[in-house]
Amino acid sequence: MRQLYIGGAWTASVSGEAVEVVNPATEEIIDRVPAGAAGDVDAAVRAAGRAFPAWSALPPADRAKQLAAAAELLKQRADEVARIIATDMGSPFGFALKVQTLMPAGVLASYAQLAESHPRETRTGNSLVVKEPVGVVAAITPWNYPLHQIVAKVAPALAAGCTVVLKPSEVAPLAAYALADILHEVGLPPGVFNLVSGRGPVVGEAMAAHPGVDLVSFTGSTTAGRRVAALAADGVKRVALELGGKSANVILPDADLTAAVKAGVANCFVNAGQTCSAWTRMIVHRDQYDEAVRLAVEATAKYTVGDPFDEATRVGPLVSAAQRDRVVRYINRGQEEGARLVAGGTERPLPRGYYVEPTVFAAVEPGMTIEQEEIFGPVLSIIPYTTEDRAVEIANGTPYGLAGAVWAGTEERAVALARRLRTGQVAVNGGRFNPMAPFGGYKRSGIGRELGEHGLEEFFEVKSLQL
């Protein structure tokens, strides 16, 4: 069994218990990680607290050097790390390499640059306003992007001068161990980064409630985020929450329908639909609805389900049996409520592994469960509208506001509608994801932002010196 990483050393958990790591493509146990306990969390937070004064006092250039070295080492080990992610999480290997590994390496490198370039002082009248690292950060991360979500928290926290205690998801924790090895190898001082694996109700709650933690950065479900915020509130801790999504892909009548539908299907099914920002609701004008459904079904047929290491695979398994069962329940619920299944369904596409066929629903009406709730699987709902105002109303009509897309005949028209969406990020006519732009949500999709300068700002306190 693996160990915890606390105070710069690999350490056995006080619990002596383990969590089994399962390959979702084969249903076989591939590893075991410690089921950490509250005592482990206390040791890690204390180590981070001891390391904070010296780490925060380092010149930003010195912290930048270590982040840059970590980014370079991650790039060198990208193939190895991608294989880990494809194995314990199930992403197709090509996606695991390009998006799940090389993108985090790029994010690490970006914070090496921002550590030096981001201004820490400004003058306002007779005041000197300074930004200082918030302190000890508890980072709690999910399984769907098991390295990217870690780097999106750990890199800016370290760049700001904070120290970190990380709890990766127990479902797919192995990429976190690979990162810990890298940070140890580049010589990060003991206690600056700590890893405590284990279950959320034990380790995550102990981190959120610990009096030595100054900020909790959490990514996961809205339900779990509420719990984290409640625990943090008792100690008046700052929280940054990146939660669920039910993103809309709004296609206006003058858009390139074929391109918009093709891109929308791809976005919905990427990572087997296990993406919080996935465009799971395609909102199409009534006059183009039948054609959009036809195009979506045609595109879906090209999404081959299979082994993550098979080059023909476009959709790997869901991460666990529990996740597969959850998605199947939603597909059944959609049919029970009157939506029309036009592709996919609940039949097992392969004899073993937690697979679900890419699924498309037509005749979806606003308010249906599959239209309102985050499914977190490869399930697309296509919804008709008659007026632009109604399209906006439908798009904004869920409790979430994380991401979305707008397609129109001109960028000007698409941007005008994108400004009306109550969501943190909108792709305009297929605009690419930008890892330097702020990412985060409105409403129940969270509090705060990650990535780029806005992500760095989350880890500062602001002090005013009156001169």
Backbone CA torsion sign across 101, 377, 143, 236? positive
Distance from C-alpha of 236 to C-alpha of 403, rounded to nearest angstrom: 29
Distance from C-alpha of 135 to C-alpha of 77, rounded to nearest angstrom: 30
Strands in 237-378 per DSSP E: 238-242, 248-251, 281-285, 340-343, 359-362
Distance from C-alpha of 319 to C-alpha of 173, rounded to nearest angstrom: 12
Q: Which is the catalytic residue, given 162, 170, 205, 242?
A: 242
321, 323, 403, 437 from 101: Cα distances, Å: 25, 23, 22, 18
Strands in 277-376 per DSSP E: 281-285, 340-343, 359-362
Distance from C-alpha of 131 to C-alpha of 126, rounded to nearest angstrom: 17
Whether residue 276 lies in the annotated active site: yes
157, 217 contact by CB (below 8 A)? yes
What the block records as the tokens of 92 is: 């197709």
Strands 359-362 and 379-385: parallel
Q: Which is the catalytic residue, given 170, 276, 357, 450?
A: 276
Residue 346, C-beta contacts closer than 8 angstroms, at least 6 positions apart: 328, 331, 332, 356
Question: Distance of alpha carbon 200 from its chain centroid, rounded?
Answer: 16
Distance from C-alpha of 112 to C-alpha of 105, rounded to nearest angstrom: 11
Residue whose entry in the numeric block shows the structure tokens 């924790």: 173
Residue 12, C-beta contacts closer than 8 angstroms, at least 6 positions apart: 3, 4, 34
Distance from C-alpha of 86 to C-alpha of 345, rounded to nearest angstrom: 24
Whether residue 268 lies in the annotated active site: no
Distance from C-alpha of 230 to C-alpha of 177, rounded to nearest angstrom: 29
- The sheet with strand 379-385 has its strands ordered as 340-343, 359-362, 379-385, 281-285, 248-251, 404-407, 427-428
Distance from C-alpha of 399 to C-alpha of 306, rounded to nearest angstrom: 33
Of 253, 261, 337, residue with least CA distance to 294: 261
Question: Distance of alpha carbon 409 from its chain centroid, rounded?
Answer: 31
Q: Which residues are catalytically annotated?
A: 242, 276
